[in-house]
Chain A
């Protein structure tokens, strides 16, 4: 990734996700909002409007930047409690959990997706995958710069997919965390050829755990991540957006799986997750974690979550130790 190709747009504060969802909804409403209002949103480039049914335009060549974002102790602790991540005390203080850092960067990533010149409809986009390089230990209380841009708009067999790359850097520019989230906009066509990765048939391994998720799981995760997407909150709000029922946040599942893998403190790592069928709420997820080494000798783990009755995968992923 080459951040220099993107014109930095410095935002003065972390955007409110509630506002971003409202804006996304307004965009989805097909221009029902007065032009005067939509024109005031940042990133509205003159002469570039979202296509109406045709091929979408290019991705905006900007990177949204928010400086001096503090890893908040109370917010971090609440997040960790919700996904079951232990708090590790390191030399520099409490080590920030990688899943929380995703949540910290997420509003900035969303602000790129909800720009009026962003060519894909945000509401209804499906989170396909996530990759994170967790390079060094970030301590709770540190100031970080969050930078996010979108790249690699490309076709998918059922629409268009795009990557949103979020980076966390220290004041000296040292990158400490990079996350790449891949989203699918269904039914949108973009030029190019579909990269077909052969899908292996999912064979459930022996489970190592079960998650019994209550109907409140989405609200609990929304409260600690700030991601109040209505499809996660309740049956009625999910159905209002065309879902059959509420579904768990992908990053709830990914964060909880990462927490259960139990990366030893202070170890840099790379983790990936691919999402398959959404996790319905309430519901039970069968989970398997397969380790290469445990404890201090940990080298990596694979994890999978699936529907124990229908034996369909919900997510699969890896966590691999990086030599730092």
Chain B
């Protein structure tokens, strides 16, 4: 253990190539978003039905490399992950790097934090850059609901392991004796929470009922997501954020003509056995989706040395978790706790943000979070504030659409949102000549949530 305080750090020697700007003053340097690239998101069992996670992540990396001239470049580190992951993909990110145009000497590691995987990948790499351990990084995420791992039943798995351990024929027969025909059926991964057996939709339905979010409000929100995403594509916003893949150039879940009237015709699919009216439909919930996203992160110096632009700084990140297991809080409400903590640390309020991105797992997830923040009792009893946390100006919320329209390939969503928001902030700062600030909140299975503040100078 070193006794030195940050002010007394050892001066790097000439041979010791400490990345510039770090380690000298003890003050962490900035980490910036240079750019981002994703492939269009595709509804499961459609355009990407035969593409695996590695194919999609490699394509997203190659698209990023093409856009920013990274072919043959040794990147400091690449971190990405998938939620639905085959056991053979234990080094998914490294394998994707090896298959990409990046220098094969680029290190990589896998991250997995359910739907917050992409956000955590960004957070970890940003910290490494700020500490001066690396100068450049790519954060990413990928998921395929089409090419999902299918596993054998627990009894068959145990039997096969027992069979493997058995030495004699009688032992082998004994191991097989417990097997029943039903055990041979393959098991597909479920979306149920392991501790509750409730699907994410059923969990959200409880929260939706708790906050009394109406069907109309959810449908309106979903329609707006489609309209905003369509408008953003129309104005070319995604031209430098998306690279075509397997015949798709836009997210194929997008319905530009989506309307409240059309959505009103859909039947509820979640919360049907609750006291409250069932309000959640396939239209105001995200579909299972395939896709991949990447974000290029760097120190300011690295970006300058490579003549690359800077979209925004990643200022701070806060993760939270809620105790949903016996219903103390809703499964997808961790962001409602993380954001107030993050803003308190940064000395910011909701009105200080030009743009707010709340991941649309379900329309009701966003609306429940907003309702909680506007609720005085929630503010006092749950957040320990004097009153309500505050209101989000809806005209600043998910302005280019979000997961309801784009789809939600679990681990790829964080990268999609960081890239989108960084570009929105750059545009705004360039327009106004003033810094622009953005907030991200992404909820995840396990009662998790990861939130971040970005700022374009």
List residues of chain B with CB within 8 A of the CB of A311. 273
Residues in B neighbouring A207, C-beta threshold 8 A: 198, 202, 206, 273-274
- Known contacts: A216-B180, A291-B326. The answer to whether A206 contacts B209 by CB under 8 A is yes
A289 CA to B327 CA, complexed, in Å:
8
Pick the contact of B202: A210, A211, A219, A290 (CB < 8 A).
Answer: A210
Q: Is the CB of B3 closer than 8 A to any CB of chain A?
A: no
Query: B195 within 8 Å of A by Cβ?
Result: yes
Which one of A208, A210, A219 contacts B325 once the chains associate, using CB atoms below 8 Å? A208
Q: At the interface, yes or no: A288 with Cβ under 8 Å from chain B? A: yes
B200 to chain A, nearest CB (A): 12
Q: Are B182 and A309 in contact (CB under 8 A)?
A: no
When the two chains form their complex, are residues A210 and B180 in contact, meaning their CB atoms are under 8 A apart? no
Instruction: Tell me the residues in window 183-224 of chain B with beta carbons closer than 8 Å to chain A beta carbons.
Output: 192, 195-198, 202, 206, 209-210
Q: Is B7 an interface residue, CB under 8 A from the partner?
A: no
Which residues of A sit under 8 angstroms from B274, Cβ to Cβ? Answer: 206-207
Interface size on A, residues (CB 8 A): 23
Q: Does B234 reach chain A (CB closer than 8 Å)?
A: no
Q: A216-B182, A286-B273, A308-B273 are in contact. Are A208 and B326 (CB under 8 A)?
A: yes
Instruction: Evaluate contact between B198 and A209: CB separation under 8 angstroms.
Output: yes
Using a Cβ–Cβ cut-off of 8 Å, how many residues does chain B contribute to the interface with A? Answer: 19
CA distance A311 to B275 in the complex (A): 10
Listed in ascending order, the chain A residues whose CB lies under 8 Å from chain B are: 204, 206-212, 214-216, 219, 260, 286, 288-291, 294, 301, 308-309, 311
Within 8 A of A (CB), among B323-353: 323, 325-328
* Nearest-CB residue, chain B, relative to A84: B195
Closest to A212 in B: B197
Enumerate chain B residues within 8 angstroms of A309, measured Cβ to Cβ. Answer: 273
Query: What chain B residues lie within 8 Å of A212 (beta carbons)?
Result: 197
Q: A286-B273, A294-B323 are in contact. Are A206 and B206 (CB under 8 A)?
A: yes
Q: A216-B180, A286-B273, A309-B273 are in contact. Are A209 and B195 (CB under 8 A)?
A: yes
CB-defined contacts of A301 to chain B, threshold 8 Å: 326
Which residues from A are CB-within-8-Å of B182? Answer: 214-216
Tell me if B328 and A294 are in contact (CB < 8 A): yes
Report chain B residues within 8 Å CB of A215. 182
Question: Is the CB–CB distance between B326 and A210 below 8 Å?
Answer: no
Chain B residues within an 8 Å CB radius of A286: 273
Which of A214, A216, A289, A308 is the one whose CB lies under 8 Å from B326?
A289
How far is A219 from B210 in the complex, measured between Cα atoms in Å? Answer: 38
Cα–Cα distance between A11 and B290 once the two chains are bound (Å): 63
B195 proximity list for chain A (CB < 8 A): 209, 260
CB distance from B217 to the nearest CB of A (A): 21
Q: Which residues of the partner chain B approach A208 to less than 8 Å between Cβ atoms?
A: 196, 198, 325-327
Give residues 228-279 of B contacting A (CB, 8 Å). Answer: 273-275
B196 touches A288 (CB 8 A): no
Partner of A210 from B198, B275, B327 at Cβ < 8 Å: B198
Nearest chain B residue, comparing its CB with the CB of A303? B326
Specify which chain B residues have a CB less than 8 angstroms from the CB of A219 in the assembled complex. 180
Q: Which residue of B lies closest to A301 (CB)?
A: B326
Within the assembled complex, what's the spacing in Å between the Cα atoms of A204 and B202?
16
Chain B minimum-CB-distance residue to A260: B195
Q: Which of chain B's residues 89-112 have a Cβ closer than 8 Å to chain A? A: none
> Quick one: which of B197, B202, B274 has the most chain A CB within 10 A?
B197
6 contacts between A and B (CB under 8 A): A206-B327, A209-B196, A209-B197, A291-B326, A294-B328, A308-B273
Bound: A166/B303 CA distance, A: 74
List residues 284-335 of chain B with CB under 8 A from any CB of chain A: 323, 325-328
B352, chain A: closest CB distance, angstroms: 35
Complex Cα distance A260/B195, Å? 8
